[in-house]
Amino acid sequence: MSLLSSQAVEAHAARIGKAAALRSLLAGPGLRFIMEAHNGLSAKIVEESGFPGIWASGLAISAAMGVRDSNEAS
């Protein structure tokens, strides 16, 4: 497994679009790791670390903000 640099991921997404880049990441061969981010700071850390994708869950965002998980924060 190799992590692509964030510049390479951004260039790829710019060429084919972000939705298509995600589809190709999911459909591609091999195992890829994407990282969860629960706020802007952790998303920036994930991006600078070179992960090819970032995901967030409503529960993680709600917990970070101190509200119940009823789609109030996301």
Query: Catalytic site residue 72?
Result: no
Q: How many Å apart are CA 71 and CA 68, to the nearest integer?
A: 8
* pLDDT given at position 9: 65
Q: What is the pLDDT of residue 42?
A: 92
Which letter does DSSP use for residue 5 in this model? P
The pLDDT of residue 64: 84
Mean pLDDT to the nearest integer, 42-50: 90
- Count of domains in the chain? 1
Is 72 inside any structural domain?
no
pLDDT tens column, 13-28: 677 887 888 888 888 8
- Site of tokens 């965002």: 61
Evaluate whether residue 50 is within a structural domain.
yes
Residue 70 lies in a domain: no
Question: pTM of the prediction?
Answer: 0.61
CA dist 20 and 71 (Å) reads: 27
Residue 73 lies in a domain: no
Q: pLDDT value at position 71?
A: 66
Domain extent at residue 16 = 6-65
Q: Give me the catalytic one of 69, 70, 72, 73.
A: 69
